[in-house]
Amino acid sequence: MKFNTAAIHIGQEADRETGAVIPPVYLTSTFAQLAPGETRGYDYTRSGNPAFDRLGATLAHLEQARYATVFGSGMAAVTAVISTLKAGDHVVAEENIYGCSYRIYDQVFKKFGVTIGYVDLSDPANHAEIERQHPALVWIESPTNPLLKIIDIEAVAEAAHAAGTALLVDNTFASPYFQNPLALGADLSLSSTTKYINGHSDCLGGVVCTNSEAWNEKMVFAQKAIGLNPSPFDCWLISRGVKTLGIRMEKHFENALKVAEFLEGLDCTATVRYPFLPSHPQYALAKKQMRGGSGIVTALFDLPFAQVVELVSNLKLFTLAESLGGIESLICHPASMTHASIPKAEREAVGITDGLVRFSVGIEDAGDLIADLQTSLNPL
């Protein structure tokens, strides 16, 4: 099946009992057993629910994976993976990591003896650090949040495997429509399904996909033992959202490229980053490993901080809010919002300065979005 067909049909067969074309959501915490220990496949929703299995089947197929475990949020998925580590384990991570991922390593798992080293893995010369640091896990995002660095997944996977370790790729920004990390050699593909996969900004979710039976067993255990399971209703919403993922991503891509080209032509922008802009430092790599540029644009404005605040606060169609990947356009100031948990010196060292603005470009009319930007920029 092609992507759009699979997104609608895989895992979403009509209900066997009633014939309902859209499978029902089982809003139950527990399931009647036939005899002690004898079930119909489910006993307690923290340990499994039909909605989990349906969504997992869909996402595994779209990610080209054998297995997919769904979680209550993107950070629940992150927690599930890190929970497999033990005291003394070390992680090598791309230096431009999501703020909440940084925070959970620094303020939670650090207390349990898990350490992390940050490396600019967009530079192939630094891939040797993986062997040198002997990590238990390599952790990257591509594109990264919010700088949109593109990491060579295939090359980092080779370096990780040569060092005897596994590679996790946070695939949230690209979505499985534009990128399949497992096909490029990654061991784990993690996404916040809150974002593009659901696409409607109305629920939380996360997923970890893998071809490894051992990793799958670890994820299923974490879902149950730590209580990282999602809500059945949220899984039902995400299953509904994923059916239109392909057509939404095409529109996000089309609009984001137009917005990026507009921003790049302004005198007040020092740099504009979008994976499919020819000016992007890893443009050739993005074109090689991604099928489209997705919907996130980052711009560094050459404006005083007060004017940057005025810009992000005065837009009408770009709502000032955290998160991304919904049908509506959002704007975010990473230094004071999504990445505020990273110390200022460390933020600025990797390029997250006060002039940096992240746009999550929705599926509205691109002309309206650009007009909104023009209106907000005119007084500045």
More confident residue, 339 or 193: 193
Give the pLDDT confidence of 73-86 residue by residue, as tens digits. 999 999 999 999 99
Unique residue bearing structure tokens 């119909």:
40
Q: Which of 69-73, 340-344, 374-378 has the largest mean confidence?
A: 69-73
Distance linking the first and last C-alpha atoms of the chain: 50
* pLDDT given at position 151: 98
Give the pLDDT confidence of 167-196 residue by residue, as tens digits. 999 999 999 999 999 999 999 999 999 999
In the chain, % of residues over pLDDT 90: 94
Say if residue 175 is in the same domain as residue 315: no
Say if residue 238 is in the same domain as residue 116: yes
Mean pLDDT of all residues in 230-238: 98
* pLDDT given at position 341: 83
Helix 99-107 / helix 74-82 crossing angle, nearest 10 deg: 40
Say if residue 325 is in the same domain as residue 198: no
Q: pLDDT-based confidence at 239, cuts 50/70/90?
A: very high
Residues known to be catalytic? 46, 98, 170, 195
In this structure, what CATH number is given to the domain that contains residue 292?
Answer: 3.90.1150.10
Q: pLDDT-based confidence at 130, cuts 50/70/90?
A: very high
Say if residue 152 is in the same domain as residue 69: yes
DSSP conformational letter for 53: H
Q: How many domains does the chain have?
A: 2
DSSP conformational letter for 298: E
Say if residue 143 is in the same domain as residue 264: no
Say if residue 167 is in the same domain as residue 290: no
Query: What CA–CA distance (Å, rounded) separates 110 from 344?
Result: 20
Say if residue 156 is in the same domain as residue 185: yes
Choosing from 195, 225, 242, the residue where a domain stops is 242
Unique residue bearing structure tokens 């629920």:
203
Say if residue 368 is in the same domain as residue 268: yes
Mean pLDDT of all residues in 339-368: 93
Query: What CA–CA distance (Å, rounded) separates 313 from 309?
Result: 6
User: Which residues span the domain enclosing 297?
Assistant: 246-377
Say if residue 322 is in the same domain as residue 202: no
State if pTM tops 0.75: yes
Pairing of strands 356-360, 296-301: antiparallel
* pLDDT given at position 143: 98
Say if residue 296 is in the same domain as residue 321: yes
Q: Taking all residues of the chain, what is their mean pLDDT, rounded to a whole number?
A: 97
Asked whether 243 and 260 are in contact (CB, 8 A), the reply is: no
Backbone φ, ψ for residue 266 (5° rounding): -85, 145
Say if residue 98 is in the same domain as residue 171: yes
Q: pLDDT-based confidence at 236, cuts 50/70/90?
A: very high
Choosing from 242, 262, 286, the residue where a domain stops is 242
Say if residue 198 is in the same domain as residue 259: no
In this structure, what CATH number is given to the domain that contains residue 73?
Answer: 3.40.640.10
Choosing from 242, 275, 304, the residue where a domain stops is 242
Query: What CA–CA distance (Å, rounded) separates 296 from 273?
Result: 9
